[in-house]
Amino acid sequence: MKREAISALRARRGFLRKIGGAGAAVAVGTAGLMHKVAAKSEPAAAQKSFPTPDYDWTKHRWAFGVDATKCIGCLRCVEACKRENNVPLDAHHFNTWIERYVYLEGEDKARIDSQQDPVNIAASGSEGQYRFANRYQDAKVEKAFFVPKLCNQCEHPPCVQVCPVGATYKAKDGVVLIDAEYCIGCRYCVQACPYGARWFNEEKGVTQKCYWCYHRITKGLQPACVEVCPVGARVFGDRDDRDSPISLFIRNNRVQVLKPETGNAPNVFYVGIDKEVL
Amino acid sequence: MEHLIQYAPYTGWVYPNETVIEWSVAIVVYPYITGLVAGAFTVSSLYQVFGFQRLKPVAHLALLTSLCFMLFVPLPLLLHLGHPERAFNNLLTPHLTSAMAMFGYFATFYIVLLVVETWFAFRPYIVEQAQKRIGLIGSFYRALTLGSYDVSETALRYDRKWIFWLAIAGIPGAHGLHGYVGFVFGSLKSREWWSSDLMPLVFLFSAIISGVALLIVLYVASCKLRRTPIDLACLKGLAYTVWAFIIVAFVLEGLEFANIVYKGREGIEMIMTFVTGPLLFPYFVLQFGIGAIVPLLALSYMIWRGTTGKALVVGVTLSACLVLLSVFMMRWNVVIGGQEISKTGKGLLTYPLQVFGKEGLISSLSLVIAPLVVLLGITRLFPPWEHKAAP
């Protein structure tokens, strides 16, 4: 157990060094990697191009947990994801983002903001850097919390249902992937996702979204956002493994999912969110 | 020079990725011209299948109008696609759970049907021209005869049978094509503004009124251009048709809105803020008020008073123009309006209309005007008003 913790720590340290020192190089490298990952449609292990030849997608059932009570809104996850997955460094395209909910004294409804908010952009100094502005310092805050958001890799994904050419599909391990070489760029999936998780890459002419760092998890690594979270607000693992962090998270907490009424059956499980969170 | 993307300003709370509005004015134009196709075909069918004799003067014009607009239906979609060169993936590997997957097949089927029906309808004229004309244009008509010069009564009866059955097949074809466009929006559960069982019907009936209205305008304009008298019985027939279908379309659109309001599900406050704020003018004033209620009242008055002559022509034509505006606004309010209401139900966005660019205002307007230019050209080659044979 201890050895595992040390190795995890080492991996994390290495990863942080990597994103700090050679962000651009990593971005370029992963772009190529993503390409390969996204291009597959048959069992991963059978494909030569797949970056992890011994990976068997029938042997895993990935899931993600978010403990909103732990999130401090530092946005390291957003930064890491942007660099790891080559997401445009602006305030309008996100694989993952953090929402801030603030109830002021005497108000019934939360004030909600996120990285696209002009006040937050002004506070960070540019659209490519992410920070929550200290906008409530003079207000009487009754309740406040952060909620990390990302693709829910739904059990019944509406984005997959509506894709006219089958370019986006659900892998056997539960992750919803996009074949960037087959996507026609119609953006019907962007419309169909009720969570706003998909975005269109104007330069590449295809839709993109979070895929739980598929290029990492198939190598036994954690998604970048999980790796960098300093407080453990993000939990990832294999539900087929009873002792994995995610299995423990789901078993030991009363978890909920976003917009359950849609019937999409998300695979991101939340703890500590509020009625206002959608 | 405009930027590649313009971000949508917003109020309230919207998801960060929503600040890029993905379906532009090109996607407004797409259902608009598809609707004109279906509506114009309805007029042609009313004559060919249902025997509305008074619509005879516009029956062939309706067919040509439908064909010309149909040729442009795929264009806004191709302009919109991130990878238009992959558009054929839709035909090669249709993903059958997608409401959009059948588009290629529907559209192809319908274009072929229109071309074949037009050929049968104009065959006597083509044969006549092939025998009369010389030079390049003569060769064009001779090629179009496909080697068949038989215009005997037996052959024409055979043609009429074909036209009849093609028109019958075209009715579900045209209306299926358009009802399906409504389904593309209505079947999505992510947006309260779109998610409605009535959406296909709303699209269908608004399509019919837009097509009939377009024919009214085209018929009157063509008579003026050709300095020929307007057949008032025909115009009245078209006015009755548009009047009857406006009522259905209006009731359906009203019912749809009433459903959203009455059910009052999550996000209804934002929808009400939207329709009483930014959407007040485009929705209540243009789409419902000026576009539907005014022509409905005007047409009702003219039918009641038995208006005829110049007053009828002016009244019906103006009403038709308003209907065309109303249906365009309906498409706008669905496509753009739907995206302006955030999926969070807690915020509103403003669509930043671009003037230039492949999905800008200019290219989209060109897509509405281009079929009319083609129609102008095609009526020179196949005059829908001169030939006598093949009713």
pLDDT tens, position by position, A39-77 = 444 444 444 545 677 899 999 999 999 999 999 999 999
Scored b (16 or more CB within 10 A) or e, A207-232 reads bbbbbbbbbbbbeeebbbbbbbbeee
Say if A170 is an interface residue toward chain B (CB within 8 Å). Answer: no
**Residue A159 within a domain:** yes
**Residue A278 within a domain:** no
Which among A162, A195, A205 has CB closest to B83?
A: A205
Chain A residues with beta carbon closer than 8 angstroms to that of B188: 158, 162, 191-192
* Residue reference for tokens 């699209």: B203
Q: How many CA atoms lie within 13 A of B137 on its CB side?
A: 8
**Residue A72 within a domain:** yes
Domain of B337 in residue numbering reads as 10-381
Number of domains present in the structure of chain A: 1
Q: What is the pLDDT of residue A15?
A: 52
**Which residues of B lie inside 8 Å of A (Cβ-Cβ)?**
4-5, 7, 13-20, 22-23, 77, 80-84, 86-87, 89-90, 93-95, 97-101, 103, 184, 188-191, 339, 343-346
**Residue A65 within a domain:** yes
> In chain A, positions 207-246, which contact chain B (CB-CB < 8 Å)?
207
CATH at residue A10: 3.30.70.20
**Helices (H), ranges, B73-198:** 74-80, 89-92, 103-132, 135-144, 153-186
**Residue A277 within a domain:** no
CATH at residue B127: 1.20.1630.10
Contact B20 A92 (CB under 8 A): yes
**Residue A276 within a domain:** no
Q: What is the pLDDT of residue B176?
A: 85
In contact, B165 and B49? CB cutoff 8 Å: no
Low-confidence ranges of chain A (pLDDT < 50): 1-4, 22-47, 49
**Residue A171 within a domain:** yes
Which among A97, A112, A263 has CB closest to B346?
A: A112
Domain of A40 in residue numbering reads as 2-271
Contact B103 A164 (CB under 8 A): yes
The two three-digit tokens of residue B64, written as one number = 């040509």
**Residue A44 within a domain:** yes
Q: What is the largest CA-CA distance in chain B?
A: 71
Measured on CA atoms in the order B103, B109, B113, B115, is the torsion positive or negative? positive
Contact B190 A191 (CB under 8 A): yes
The two three-digit tokens of residue B121, written as one number = 């309808």
Q: What is the pLDDT of residue B3?
A: 55
Chain B residues with beta carbon closer than 8 angstroms to that of A193: 190
Chain B residues with beta carbon closer than 8 angstroms to that of A204: 82
Low-confidence ranges of chain B (pLDDT < 70): 1-4, 386-391
Number of domains present in the structure of chain B: 1
The two three-digit tokens of residue A89, written as one number = 């460094």
How far apart (Å, rounded) are the C-alpha atoms in residues B109 and A237?
49
How many residues would you count in chain B? Answer: 391
How far apart (Å, rounded) are the C-alpha atoms in residues B166 and B120?
10
Say if A194 is an interface residue toward chain B (CB within 8 Å). Answer: yes
User: Is the reported ipTM for this assembly greater than 0.95?
Assistant: no
